[in-house]
């Protein structure tokens, strides 16, 4: 049982609010895929999936092990594995997960497995590269794919999809529209030659915001579920889901000339009071936040981090704060604080959230 006093509280009401925000931009029949990879963007994928299972149509994870964890927790909804490896294909079948087949190596391996098992109309997803140049078949691969599919009834294409490269950047609108049009062309080739119509999806969080007309049959919501829209206006409409808190474990009185932390990075110029908090870079607190670049909230007041961030602890200046050992410490509890941490850490909100360690206790509040 995890009894770490540093806790990430996941706000279920905020999660539902964010889901509703995106639903309102969609047609009633458009399906929603909730992305819960990377431990639910640093939270708890199992708790997130349990909370959302009756509210969405699909889940997506990056790797097979993430999907297996959901199945073992009792999640029955369809789960798309975005980046399956050949060596995990048998596990994917064993746990009724649905693989994204993005190249001929994994495509051929899965068809071989499906034929030998044998499976019947097992759902697969085909990803096409339309400009992100990360994963996906090329449009020139379509004839061979169709030829191979006609030779088997052991698999069925559940969906065709692609991924937008710059959906949040309106200066790249022409590029994005070109991606969408290329994807529509790819879909047409399959619709012409298959006896059924796979689902189509290309929009991510920012895609839903900026290109809702291209929602096709399903959309994928990731960072938007957790309160960020890659746009200040959208983010202000969403609600923060991640609230990281801890406590003061010890208070020190530091005399002038004394130092705090590793490498003696902080030197007291006058008498100060410091508080030690049990959260550090092993928990996802970037070392860039040290030396007064980052802060926490104690009793409604800012307390700047002094010295270097340690692996398991940070020290903050509480000279002007009325506090005691055991008092609650807010590491972050709103989008502004999370964005500040990301900016100071020279990264993006995605990394700040997913960096939260699994040793931090996670609690979903409904």
Name the nearest CA neighbour of 276 among 243, 255, 299, 306: 306
Strands 122-127 and 98-101 turn out to be parallel
Catalytic residue among 50, 262, 304, 350: 262
Phi, psi angles (nearest 5°) of residue 125? -125, 140
SS3 223: helix
Strand segments, DSSP code E, in 266-312 are 266-267, 272-277, 295-298, 301-306
d(CA 76, CA 299): 43
Name the burial class of residue 45, with classes exposed (0-12), middle (13-18) and buried (19+) by CB atoms within 10 angstroms of its CB.
buried
Is 95 an active-site residue?
no
Is 262 an active-site residue?
yes
Sheet holding 199-201, edge to edge: 199-201, 155-161, 122-127, 98-101, 79-81, 58-61, 31-35, 218-221
Instruction: Please report, for residues 183, 184, 284, the alpha-carbon distance to residue 357 in angstroms, rounded to integers and kept in the order given.
Output: 37, 40, 6
Strands 58-61 and 79-81 turn out to be parallel
The residues assigned a catalytic role are: 37, 262
């Amino acid at each position: 049982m995890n009894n770490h006093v540093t806790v990430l509280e996941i706000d279920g009401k905020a999660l539902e609010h964010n889901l509703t925000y995106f639903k309102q931009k969609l047609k009633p029949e458009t399906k929603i895929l909730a992305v819960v990879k990377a431990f639910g963007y640093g939270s708890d994928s199992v708790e997130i999936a349990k909370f959302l299972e009756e509210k969405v149509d699909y889940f997506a994870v990056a790797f097979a092990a993430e999907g297996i964890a959901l199945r073992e927790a009792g999640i029955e909804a369809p789960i798309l594995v975005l980046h399956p490896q050949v060596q995990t294909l048998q596990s994917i079948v064993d746990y009724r997960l649905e693989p994204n087949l993005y190249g001929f190596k994994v495509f051929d391996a899965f068809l071989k497995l499906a034929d030998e098992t044998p499976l019947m109309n097992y759902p697969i997803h085909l990803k096409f590269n339309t400009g992100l140049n990360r994963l996906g078949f090329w449009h020139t691969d379509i004839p061979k794919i169709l030829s191979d599919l006609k030779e088997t009834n052991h698999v069925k294409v559940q969906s065709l999809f692609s991924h937008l490269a710059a959906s949040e950047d309106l200066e790249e609108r022409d590029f994005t529209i070109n991606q969408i049009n290329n994807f529509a062309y790819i879909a047409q080739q399959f619709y012409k030659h298959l006896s059924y119509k796979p689902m189509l999806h290309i929009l991510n969080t920012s895609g839903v915001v900026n290109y809702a007309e291209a929602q096709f049959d399903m959309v994928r919501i990731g960072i938007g579920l957790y309160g960020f829209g890659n746009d200040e206006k959208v983010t202000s409409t969403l609600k923060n889901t991640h609230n990281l808190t801890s406590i003061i474990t010890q208070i020190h009185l530091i005399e002038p000339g004394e130092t705090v932390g590793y490498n003696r990075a902080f030197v007291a110029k006058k008498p100060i009071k410091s508080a030690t908090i049990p959260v550090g870079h092993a928990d996802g607190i970037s070392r860039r936040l040290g030396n007064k670049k980052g802060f926490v909230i104690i009793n409604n007041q800012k307390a700047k981090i002094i010295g270097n961030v340690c692996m398991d602890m940070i020290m903050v200046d509480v000279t002007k704060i009325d506090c005691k050992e055991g008092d609650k410490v807010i590491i972050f509890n709103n989008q502004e604080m999370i964005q500040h941490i990301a900016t100071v850490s020279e990264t993006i909100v995605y990394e700040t959230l997913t960096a939260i360690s699994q040793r931090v206790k996670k609690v979903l509040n409904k």
